[in-house]
Structure 1
Amino acid sequence: MPAPGISTPPEAPVTALSAGRVRGMWRAGPDGGSPSAAFLGIPFAKPPVGGLRFAAPRRPDPWEGVRDALVHGPTPKRGDSAQTLIPEPAIPGEATLNLDVFTPAPGDRGARLPVMVWIHGGGYVEGSPASPWYDGAAFTRDGIVTVNVSYRLGFDGFGRIPGAPDNRGVLDWLAALEWVQENIGAFGGDPDRVTIMGQSAGGGAVLTLLGMPAAQPLFHRVISLSGALGDVPGARARRLSARLAELAGVACTRDGFASVPEERLASLQAEAAKPDSGKALDGEISLLREGLPWAPMIDGGLITRPTAESLGAGVGADKALLLGAADDELTMTTDAMRGRLRLVPPGLALARMGLEGRRRRAYLRDNRELRRRGAAVALGRYATDRVFRSLVARVAGARTATGVDGRTGSASTWVYAFSWASPALGWACHCLDVPFWFDCLGAPGVDRVASSQPPQALARALHSAAVRFVDEGDPGWPAWSSAPGATAVLGGPEAPDGLRVRPDGYASLSALL
């Protein structure tokens, strides 16, 4: 497919991989820039079906001739689900372990360009690498090879199954990164300059990989956007699987689960994770206390301890890290409670969510505006701080402090806070920052969450910081590791034109740490 605007259309790009040759397509660059190539739906493992459904990923079979890589591959996400802020299509098919590559230099093994590998979010149960928000056009415009990977979701990817390997979704990430090491040179990429980047569950995924000894040779830098960790204890994983087997009416064995269609298990997994009371608020409290149910588990092999603990012990200390979160990731979800909670004191609402005694009083003291804004806002901010923002501070602090084995982090940690409140949604909320990092404000669906005129200057600031970090290992502001608390405030009243540095950007949640 020739790139529009080129007077002499080039031949479709073809490059040779370890499993065979693939044909991509040329695309015009953003804003009339230089063309780049896209290779879509390349398998990095065999289809996880039949006897391979609950197995570790296996290398794909080689193929003869040239394989077309012109459309997104099948996704682990199945069917239509509840409306999400990010448009993430479900694509049917069995070969779901595939990836997309976007590059300005296909076939140029001497280019040695930096590489960014993107892992999508979705709470480890949803999401798709085929979103238009994840298109690598802006990164390739700026000289970065971009790779989007898929992985098994929900119970199929993360459920505990006797007789099957644990953390199959994590094994998928590792297999994709091994594929990158082996093949990215064919797309002009440098296997010695790989940054892994993700948002939400994807942000948790890259932190999990950063704290995993087995993953260390496969990447060199990390960007975690609004990371949500799993770290599911083994005992909880076993209880959840037993409950799911009960609901499905099968034995809690590999054969038992294999007898149930993937879509059926996916439809039951939310029910299996509900608290016994069945009350919605109890479900939210359980999520805050116990975390996500179908997510990376502490399996004693790949993941031997909680991720923050592993990072504090020095694992991944040689890799630069950029991480942060939005100011009100979850406050939008509590807006509907405003009427019911209008007469409820914020302190009482926080006590119901499990924040007790001196910690509650300290938290309200450090967040005085919550008393004025009401209980619904207080709950949303507290949930945001518990799930996302406290993780940022804990990880940054763990990497700065001396680890239990006596080592100190040798690579720096940078922290940001995304503070631009969308006129369409009212908050600096979950997922809102993704099209700014990808500099794709014109992509489908962005106007629905960011309004019809989101600030392009903010997109330039975020995207430029990401490009600089991937290329040079420094996003351009003081590191938390050299000035603890240093935070780049992105957008909002403090930084209307892009970025300002605050010396104590996460001080308001010290009571939760």
Structure 2
Amino acid sequence: MLPSVQRDAEAPVADTPSGRMIGTWAQSTPPIAAFRGIPYAQAPVGPLRFAAPVPREPWAGILDATQFGPTPQRGDTGITLIPETSVPGDDTLNVNVWTPTLDPAAQLPVVVWIHGGGFTSGSPASTWYDGSAFARDGVVLVTLSYRIGFTGFGWIDGAVPNRGVLDWICALEWVQLNIASFGGDPQRVTIAGQSAGGGAVLTLLGAPAARGLFSGGYALSAAIADPSVDAARDRSHRLAKLARVTPDLHGFSELTEARILELQPKIASPSAPRLLRDLHGMLRDGLLIGPVADGSIVPGPVEHGVAHGPSAAVPLVLGTADDELLGMFKPGTVFDHMPRRAAVRALGASAAAADRWLASDQAQATDSSAVLLGRYVTDAVFRSWVPRIAAARTTGQAGPTWSYRFAWHADEPPRAGHCIDVPFVFDQLAAPGVHRVAGEHPPQELADAVHGALVRFAQHGDPGWEPDRGGLGPSRVFDLPVRDETDAYAGARALL
């Protein structure tokens, strides 16, 4: 039973095909309405736990949409780069909407944000994901939750695969049906996300069921998952063995959510006794848990989908921060005493790729071997995908592609690390925890440029600079000053 409340005459009320709901006004001028915790599918519990999402039936009465809904992320995650709150409860498949108007005639562009977290964590209930700045600038902002970790992406014989991907699609179908009631235009929907959310954007370009649900993609620091069914099945069997159940739907259905979450880290991140093998696999193929190329929901690898998939023709913007994983290896440790070529080869680079990469200007300018390894991992996991995707989209029926780099960094910490760009994208520089990645005084003029690029793309299908030519740029470099560079990913391109 959905909760309902008495209508408050001073609160915003949206009348949608899914039902009526009451929201809140953001503290802003002009007024912005926020609606939170709107269910787009039935609670994924019981028989629906490992099943495709079932769209929510329209409800009677007025839904209380004043608070964030339950999240698939559970428990206290401690201090994370992005503060992402866990909300208890079963009704985890929900969306949140920020809008400047409830007039269907407004036909405003829409951005649907898919949160990151390595496909195993993350939550839309973060102050960093507040959509007020988008609504202020005439864009309806939607954030969505989806099943994460093994529940969302683990390979289970007898169960539908890629359940998290189907959640994204179900939420986008909800947007198509309902967004006009929030002043949005269902024909102008941009999907955007960072890290795993960026990987989601790229995955959806190749998903047949997502065709026609969006008109543009914006992928920030896209984290790509392993496309191999065999590897996914192997990890599932390892988890079943640890849990002492059969590696199928019947066996995993016997496990509580808490038990799966307890065991999941053993298959979701490199660990002994398979540490080196898993690390090599992650650097080569991507994250250990995430969307799998099952041949149907996700027909093939990301590189093929972005160029030849059902939605490959939509415009795409993608880029990364310069120093995503630079802090992974600490200077002054044993890593600084490793021979540079041997260290890069130990991380899985072929002899030819190691030689090309070590000869790049970026590598030559790096004195510390520990910092060098951080740059290699950053390029292998994140940055090399930008020229790779841009080059792939020069074939087939792919639409225009733009690339960027986020190069600015605070004096402390002195790097443009993972997640630093998110508060700039949302123009939420005063949000709690931003100082941990962007220092005490992040520049508003840079937020204006970064946020403005996504707003312009949502409005006009063009972020404001020249399209990338096959991975060679030009790329917009978000720094002070903002500038454009040719072959801005030359170092990372050496790994291709």
Same fold (TM over 0.5): yes
Return closer, same or farther for 1:313/1:159 CA change in 2, 3 Å cut-off: same
Displacement of 1:323? 0.5
Displacement of 1:348? 2.0
Within the candidate set 450, 455, 460, 1:462 is matched to: 450
**How is 1:37-436 mapped onto 2 (pairs within 5 angstroms)?**
37-106=33-102, 108-273=103-268, 277-278=272-273, 283-313=278-308, 315-334=310-329, 336=330, 338-367=332-361, 369-370=363-364, 372-400=366-394, 402-403=395-396, 408-409=397-398, 411-436=399-424
Return closer, same or farther for 1:371/1:281 CA change in 2, 3 Å cut-off: farther
What letter corresponds to residue 367 of structure 2 in structure 1?
R
Displacement of 1:51? 1.3
Report the Cα distance in structure 1 between the residues aligned to 2:54 and 2:281, rounded to whole angstroms.
Answer: 36
Displacement of 1:227? 0.4
Return closer, same or farther for 1:453/1:280 CA change in 2, 3 Å cut-off: farther
TM-score, normalised with respect to structure 1: 0.92
Report the Cα distance in structure 2 between the residues aligned to 1:320 and 1:280, rounded to whole angstroms.
Answer: 38
Displacement of 1:287? 2.0
Report the Cα distance in structure 1 between the residues aligned to 2:73 and 2:208, rounded to whole angstroms.
Answer: 29
Contact 1:118 1:197 survives alignment (8 Å): yes
TM-score, normalised with respect to structure 2: 0.95
Return closer, same or farther for 1:15/1:275 CA change in 2, 3 Å cut-off: closer
The answer to whether the aligner puts 1:507 opposite 2:490 as a matched pair is yes
> Considering only aligned residues, what root-mean-square deviation do their CA atoms show, in Å?
1.8
Aligned length: 489
What letter corresponds to residue 495 of structure 2 in structure 1?
L
Report the Cα distance in structure 1 between the residues aligned to 2:323 and 2:419, rounded to whole angstroms.
Answer: 11
What letter corresponds to residue 52 of structure 1 in structure 2?
L
Deviations 1:410-435 (A, max 9, x none): x3111001101232322111100000
Contact 1:332 1:425 survives alignment (8 Å): no
What letter corresponds to residue 139 of structure 2 in structure 1?
I
The answer to whether the aligner puts 1:490 opposite 2:464 as a matched pair is no
Give % identity.
Answer: 50
Contact 2:50 2:160 survives alignment (8 Å): yes
Contact 1:202 1:227 survives alignment (8 Å): yes
Map of 1:27 onto structure 2: 26
Return closer, same or farther for 1:91/1:276 CA change in 2, 3 Å cut-off: closer
Return closer, same or farther for 1:288/1:416 CA change in 2, 3 Å cut-off: same
Q: Secondary structure at the match of 1:34?
A: coil
Displacement of 1:333? 1.8
Report the Cα distance in structure 1 between the residues aligned to 2:214 and 2:366, rounded to whole angstroms.
Answer: 46
Deviations 1:137-187 (A, max 9, x none): 100000000000000000100011111111000000000000000000110
Deviations 1:290-316 (A, max 9, x none): 421210001111112111112233642
The answer to whether the aligner puts 1:452 opposite 2:445 as a matched pair is no
**How is 1:474-485 mapped onto 2 (pairs within 5 angstroms)?**
474-481=462-469, 484-485=472-473
Return closer, same or farther for 1:253/1:27 CA change in 2, 3 Å cut-off: same
Map of 1:4 onto structure 2: none
Contact 2:81 2:437 survives alignment (8 Å): yes
Report the Cα distance in structure 2 between the residues aligned to 1:445 and 1:199, rounded to whole angstroms.
Answer: 17
Return closer, same or farther for 1:166/1:114 CA change in 2, 3 Å cut-off: same
Mind listing any 5+ residue stretches in structure 1 that lack a counterpart? 1-8
Report the Cα distance in structure 1 between the residues aligned to 2:331 and 2:264, rounded to whole angstroms.
Answer: 26
Return closer, same or farther for 1:453/1:371 CA change in 2, 3 Å cut-off: closer
What letter corresponds to residue 346 of structure 2 in structure 1?
R
What letter corresponds to residue 508 of structure 1 in structure 2?
G
Map of 2:3 onto structure 1: none
